[in-house]
Structure 1
Amino acid sequence: MPTATKSRFGLALLATGAVVAGTLALAPPAGAAGGSCSGPGPTVNGYATVYCDTYVTASVTQGSTPYEGDSREVGILYAGHNWFVCQIKGRENPVIQGAHNNWWLETLADVVTRPGASGWGSFPATAVVQGGDWEPVPGVPIC
C-alpha cells in the first residue's frame, strides 16, 4: 500500500506508545453480527474504499501473513465508521469478544504507533461488525 496520511476529526495524529486492542465495545462480536459493509469511501491514492463499522479500537498490523514479522503493530484504528480498501485471508485474527476469523482488511491507521511506519496495514475482521466467523467481510473486495 502507498504511503498516505489519514485524518479523523480534522487531526493528524502520531503516537509512539502501544494501545491495547479491544478497549471500546460498541456492538456484539463479529461472529454474531450480520449485514454488509456499504457506501463508497474516499478514493485514497487511487484506491477505492468501502465503509464498514468497527466495534472496538484495535491494532493495525504490518501484514496479514502467518509470519511473525508481519504481525507487528504499525498503528491503531478507532472503533466507528471506517474505510477499507480490500481484504485478504491470512493468519488467525486476535479473538475479540469470542469472534474468530482469518480475514484481514487493508486500511490506514488513525494513529501511527511504530516510528517510521506509514500507517498502512491489516485490520482484523474480528473487530468488524459486519463479519462472520471464518468468513470474509461482506461488501469488502478481495485483494
Structure 2
Amino acid sequence: MARMTFASHPFLLGFDQLDRLVERTAKSGNDGYPPYNIEQMDENAYRITLAVAGFSEDDLAITIEDSQLVIRGRQAEDAADRVFLHRGIAARQFQKSFVLADGMEVRNASLENGLLHVDLTRCLPETVVQTVKITRA
C-alpha cells in the first residue's frame, strides 16, 4: 500500500518538495543538546537562541544549506595537562538544523553571555495577479 502524505492531496499541486523537507526534518536526529529557544519577535521576525556556554565565535559555524539553517559547534581539544575531578559542562560537538520557509533570511548572529542569537526575518513577496488567456484548442 502506498504511503499517503499531505502533498498527495489533489488540490496541493507542486508541494512535493515541502513534503520531502518535512520528512528530512523528522529524520534529522536533532537531540536536546544544546538547548534552544525560538521566539517570535514580531509578525515577520524570529530569534533562535542556543545555550552554547564555553564556545567562542571561532568554535561556531552558521550556514544555510538547501533551505536549512545549520548551526555547528566544535571546541578545540583541551590541553593534555588538564585533569578534571568532575566535568559537568558539556563540551561536545553539535549540529542543529532548522528548515527555513521561502523568503526567510538570516539577518544577524551574535554571541552574548554564552547564548548564540540568530535573528531571522521573513521577506514578503509582492502579490502578483496574472490573467491567463484562454485559447481554442
TM-score (norm 1): 0.23
Q: Which protein is richer in strand relative to its size?
A: 2
TM-score (norm 2): 0.24
**Larger relative CO (CA 8 A, sep 6+): 1 or 2?**
1
Q: Which protein is richer in helix relative to its size?
A: 2
